[in-house]
Structure 1
Amino acid sequence: MKKNIFLYLFVFAALLALFQYVTGSNMQKALSSDVEKLENQVVKLEDSLQTMHLKVLDMQYFTLENNDDALAYYDHLKLENPSLYIQDKLLETNEQKGDNPLIPYEGMESDFKINKIKVLNHKWILADFSDGKYWGDIIIKYELKDDLSVDFTLAEHLLYAPQDY
């Protein structure tokens, strides 16, 4: 009787060990495949991050902040951020009552005002304007003077045709 109990305990322990081995092996395979999937996702994310970084650098190519030759024109003015200063001065033209004086169109829904501004270099600005329904783009020539005043001159303009949906 005592012999049979030890035999049953031995068989039970062997089955338990076999069960633990198979379960551990399966868990190891599952974890390995999960790690491999995550590594692949990390590689894809790194690639897409690098692609996005290159796109951002490409988009920033035509900006005053990244144009050392154009920034050299403003070294003597001691402006911390010439681009932001020029944008602020251009947005001040929106404060006048009625349409912005740089926009050669009369607002149809309300007054045309400048919305977005991109200072391209030390001479040109690209801006977008809208009255809420109609919109367009303008290219502005500007001159930042030594007394920190800015003269704006309209170079080109474009009003988009409205699209009814």
Structure 2
Amino acid sequence: MKSKIVLYLFIFMSMICLYLFVSNGKMAKSKDARIAQLENEVEALQDSVQDAQLKVLEMQYFSLENNDDALAYYDHLKLDDPSRYIADKLLETNESKGDNPLIPYEGMESDFKINKIKVLNHKWILTDFSDGKYWGELLIKYELKDDLGVDFTTIDHLLYTRSN
């Protein structure tokens, strides 16, 4: 009787060991496949991050912040961020009652105001303006004076027409 119990116990333990061995092998294969999949995803994400960085560098090409030759014009003024200073001065033109004086159109839904500003270099600014429904763009020439005053002159403009 005692030998049969030991035999059954041995068979039962053998089956448990066999089950653990097989399931552990399947689990290892599953984990290896998951690791390989995650490595491929990481590689794809690294490629997309690199593409995004290249696009950002491309977009920053026409930017005062990245143009050392243009920034040299403002060395004597001791401004921390000339681009931000100029953009703030341009946004101040929105504070006048009615349409922004730099925009040569009358607002149709409300007053035309400047929304987005891109300081291209030490002479030009590209802006977007809108009245909430209609929008357009301006190319503005500016001059930052030694007394930190800024003169703005609209060089060219366009108003997008709505096609329904």
TM-score normalised by length of structure 2: 0.98
| 1:93-147 deviation digits (Å, cap 9, x = unpaired) | 1111111111111111111111100000000000011111111000000000000
Cα shift at 1:12: 1.1
Structure-1 residue corresponding to 2:72: 72
Cα shift at 1:45: 0.8
Letter of the 2:41 counterpart: Q
Structure-1 residue corresponding to 2:30: 30
Q: How does 1:110-125 map to 2 (within 5 A)?
A: 110-125=110-125
d(CA) in 2 for partners of 1:114, 1:3: 94
Letter of the 2:5 counterpart: I
TM-score normalised by length of structure 1: 0.97
Structure-1 residue corresponding to 2:148: 148
Runs of 4+ with >4 A deviation:
none
d(CA) in 2 for partners of 1:90, 1:7: 92
Question: Secondary structure at 1:79's aligned position in 2?
Answer: coil
The answer on 1:16 being equivalent to 2:16 is yes
Q: Is there any run of 5+ residues in structure 1 with no aligned partner, and where? A: none
Structure-2 residue corresponding to 1:82: 82
Q: Is there any run of 5+ residues in structure 2 with no aligned partner, and where? A: none
d(CA) in 2 for partners of 1:65, 1:54: 17
Structure-2 residue corresponding to 1:5: 5
Structure-1 residue corresponding to 2:135: 135
| 1:81-101 deviation digits (Å, cap 9, x = unpaired) | 000000010011111111111
Q: Quote the sequence identity (%).
A: 68
d(CA) in 2 for partners of 1:5, 1:107: 96
Letter of the 1:160 counterpart: Y
The answer on 1:103 being equivalent to 2:122 is no
